[in-house]
Every structure is written in structure tokens, then in C-alpha cells.
Amino acid sequence: MTVAEVRRTYLEFFKKRGHVLLPSAPVVPENDSTTLFTSSGMQPLVPYLLGQVHLEGNRLVNSQKSVRTGDIDDIGDNRHLTFFEMLGNWSLGDYFKKEQLPWLFEFLTSKEEGLGLDPRKLYVTVFAGDEELAISKDTEAIAIWKNLFGEKGIEAHDVLIGSEERGYQVGMQGGRIFAYDAGKNWWSRSGVPSAMPAGEPGGPDSEVFYDFGTPHNPDFGLECHPNCDCGRFVEICNSVFMEYRKKENGSFEQLAQRNVDFGGGLERLTVTTLGSDDVFLADTLQTTILEIELLTEKKYSDNEDQQSFRIVADHIRAATFIIADDVLPSNTDAGYILRRLIRRAIRHLDKLGVDSNTLANLGNKVIDAYKDTYHDLEQKRVQIDSILTTEEQKFRKTLSQGIREFEKLSKRGPISGHDAFILFTSYGFPIEITEELAKERNLSVDHQAFAKEMEEHQTKSRTASEGRFKGGLADHSEITVRYHTSHHLLLAALRQILGDIVHQRGSNITQDRVRLDFSFDRKLTSEELAQVEQLVNEKIVEALPVFATSMSKIEAEKLGAEHEFGVKYGDQVTVYSMGPKNATQEDPKFSESFSLEFCGGPHVSNTSELATDAKRFKISKEESVAAGIRRIKAVLE
């Protein structure tokens, strides 16, 4: 089956069973500063798993775009991916184990409605219980699995494994159902039950493994078992049953709302239908791999080059989806991860003999493979192409020089922190690339000394971040200041087109775009968006003067000045006014101004400055972020 076929089959299967289809959340969370990327299907649904009412109901299903940065260094084997899709279905206080496990088994094994997998190749794990905490063994799940396998004529013995380490000692024991301790079959946000704080929910899970029948490799342990890393078994999905809550005295009680959280890796499930354990045989990745074969005249099947094929295919796919969520390569946060992915891909293209600009072409292959499902990729094609091209050109200018410098340094032995720092600052080598090069030569890198030099370097150059703007302004650069002014124009235009019910409810301004959250109870029509965009551009062309005026808070409120969201003001405030054209600092003509807001600044002195380099204000996205709250992202281009 193809990725699209597996995705469609899964979503339709659960829609027929009363589930509402949710769109995938972005890979870059928009309202969660605690993490850089969405790493699982359940991540956007945590508030609802904790009891908040979901507007779409209590049976939900989707395929979630996900990025896991912890796996970057593992990319190159047959099962790890940076970007992947996670199939998920959820019950929010509705059905539980006796519905979830039979549905899952039917989806996996049915030739009519599911994947048609051979049930004899499926093995499952359950929670073994915790005697000290008086949490019982998951006998309910065991009984359900026994019955399901029995209906297929398969005798399913349940055996106790306990810890993963013990699994390597006792092995399979003729089992089909394996009970592991909390280290393998328990879910909570804090991990094992003993680590959970009072009030936190958690529960057992039940994983499904596919047996590929490969001989056990004793290098991984004396005996094989489902969680063995030898490659015989691959986990393809997991059902979490959130049914307990930890009490103040450390004991556990049943939750009033019991939830189901299922996750299954789309690519793993797809290649399993092909009888393979290599996720890179999924058609969406093969599209890129075949293109690399044409460029290099090498074969993916060649073990010598296979790792580089996989790294390039994985990283360019992840980079394409991250860019589509408006992330730009940089040296911090999500931008750093993006740059690291791009530069590692370039380095492995170089190893494959490709020394010219290629990433944009490969990015287009990714877009072609996914555009029918994720339409924003097609809409962002030009932007993705431009960013990949620019980043590759920039890095290729220093890549060969950096490799030569590394070779010179490596002849002296281990790579010092200072050497790694120079490779980063002078040649653009992320520390991970330096570490990868060193590992290939059995050399170490002084990561601690590198981190110390980086910290000293950042301290010396840290100026922009010392005075972060109020209202979510990211730095004081000239382009960011222009975006800050465009934010005021955008809010004023929205209020003029949609009415005074519009108020700011959040914002974030970077050197790449402006983002405004505002109160409004429905989706804007294309005509309204066009009117707002046109009005902002008209005010830019009108060259309205911009003035900052200090006054009392009471006076500002009487003038009707808009408040910045979430800011507490003192008795004296600064108000920024934009327009009218004949306004002066001495006579700002507040009653005639187009925009009037409480704000700490800074701003341009005239709206015409937003048109520098013939730029125009353009709305790039409008969407809902919560009930009654809309979000607009816009750029100057």
C-alpha cells in the first residue's frame, strides 16, 4: 500500500465508527513555548485529555505531522525519521479498552477495511502492574487480546517479562502477549508512576509489534523479546489508556474521565504492508531517493551509500515541512534545527558526489509527493524553493573549505572546543556536523569547551535581546520595527473593516513576519481579507506620520486608544498614533488618527518606510486558534 492509501484507510475506518476527522496541527506549535515542534498526535490534544471539552466531540481521529529532533543523530538506519506522520484516534471519556483493542486489531488485520496484515505476525505488550503502588496488572487488556487472537485460531499465551533487561534473559517463552513494567508500558507526562506529581493522570499502554522473522542477533542480548533492538520485532502502534490519577498520599485512584490515546507511525505501517522493516521504502520517501539515484548514478541498495541516501531523503522532507510553517534557517531554536537539517543533507549529498545546488529540486519532489494532502506545500512552493536554494548556496561556499580545515585539525588528534567553535563561526558547521565527522575518524570533540566558548560569544554579542519589545516583538532590527508598525496598521484595518468588536488578543513579531491574534467569531471571507490588505497598503502609500506621546492612562483610555494584550499599565503611558497626514508632534490630531494604541515602541517615523525596496503588505494566512479568536500572519514582500 502507499502512504496515501494507508492514511485514507485508517481515517475512513475510524470515521465510520463515529470519529470526527481533525486537520493536522502545524509542525511548529503556535501556542506552546515549551517545545519547538509538534512531536506526536496527542500533543495538541493534551488540554482535552486533561478534561477540557473539545468542540468536535469525544471521538476524534487524524494524521498528525510530527518532528522529533532527538532522532536526528539516529537517522541513517531503517526505522528512525525526523519528520513523520502519526495516525491517531482518541476517546475523551467515551469508549475504552473493549472497543479500542478490537477496532485496532480489525484495522490491522482486515483485508476489506484495514491493512490486511497477517495476525500470526503480530505480538502485543501490556502493563505488568506495580505492586508497591498497588496498581494492578492489566488483566483486562490481556483477556481482550487473548480473545482477539483466539478468534483467528491463534493460541495467545501471556508471559511476564517485567523489565526490558529481564527480557534479554528470559526471552519469548512461547508467548504472544508480554507484560512489561512501567519503564515500557506506562504513560504519563512525567514518566513512570513514581515520578508523577499529585494530581497528574496516567495509565497503562498496549503496544503492537510486527515480527519480520529475522534471526536474533545476540550482540543485543542473550534472548530475543518484542522490545529487543535486534530488528526482528518493530513496534507499529500503541494504545494508551489514561485511567488513573495520582493522589496526594502517593496512591492512585480511577479517573472520572477515562481516555484513549492511540498512535501509529504512518510510514512504519505503510512499509509493514509491503513486508519490509525499512521506512525509506515508503513511496513518499522513495520519490526523493529515486531522484538522488538519478543525480548520483548510485543505488540506494548499495550499503556503502545507503546511510547518506536516507539522511538526505529524511532531512529534506523535514526541512520542507518546517519551512512551510514559516520557519527560516537561523542559529537559534527551530531555525537552528532547520539549518542543521539542511546543512547535514548538503554534507551527505557532497559525500554522494553531488557538489552543485540540488536541495530545491529535492524539496520540489517532497512537495509533489504531499501536495494533494497538505495544500499549503504547493502554496509555499516558491518560498520553500527560495529558502533551500539560498541556504545551500551559502553553505556550499564554505563547505569544502570547512572540510579541509577539519582534516587539518583532525591530524592533531581530538577536536578541541575552540576548534569546533571556529568550524561553527567561520565555516558554518553546526557542532553536530563536527561531531559526526569526528566520529567517522574515531575522534572525540570537547563539547563542554565548545559550549563555553559559544556562551561567551553570545554574551558579547547579545544586544538585541536585552530589551525585548512588549507585545511579542522578537528584536530591534530595522525590518522588525517595520513589522511592528504594520501590526498597528493591521489591527486598525481589521477594526475598520470588521467593526469595533475586534481587539488584539496576542501577537508575535519577528524579522520574517507579523502575527496577530484578535477577537472575532468567524472565518474572514476572501473579500474581507482583500479589503484589510488593501487598506493597510493604502495607509502605507499615504505616508502617515507616526508619533509617540506620553500621557496619563486615564486620558489615553478616554481617547479610545487600543491596549496591548496582556500588559498591565502604570498611571503614565506612551501612545503611538498613525495619521492623519497633517498631524505633527505638537498637534497629533488623535481624533483623526488611523491607528491609536498603547505601546512601548519602537516604530518607524512614517508609514511610507514600510514600502522600502518596493515592499507591499501581504496577508499570508488566516485561521482559528481558539473559540472566538482568529489569527493572521502577514509579510512585507
| pLDDT tens, residue by residue, 438-474 | 999 999 999 889 988 888 876 654 443 333 333 344 4
**Torsions phi, psi of 31, nearest 5?**
-135, 30
- pLDDT at site 232: 96
pLDDT at 33: 64
CA atoms within 13 Å, Cβ hemisphere of 269: 28
In this prediction, residue 582 carries a pLDDT of 94
* pLDDT reported for residue 564: 63
Which grid coordinates belong to 476? 530591534
Express each pLDDT in 169-216 by its tens digit. Answer: 999 999 999 999 999 999 988 889 988 898 888 999 999 999 999 999
Q: Rounded to whole angstroms, how far apart are CA atoms 331 and 333?
A: 7
Q: Which residues of the chain have pLDDT under 50?
A: 461-475
Residues 6+ apart with CB under 8 A from 193: 130, 133, 135, 182, 186, 202, 246, 252
| Cα 521 to Cα 498: distance, rounded to the nearest angstrom | 11
Mean pLDDT score of the chain, rounded to an integer?
91
* CA-wise closest residue to 236 among 366, 369, 121, 373: 121
**CB–CB of 227/167 below 8 Å?**
yes
Beta carbons of 406 and 439 less than 8 angstroms apart: no
Q: Model pTM?
A: 0.71
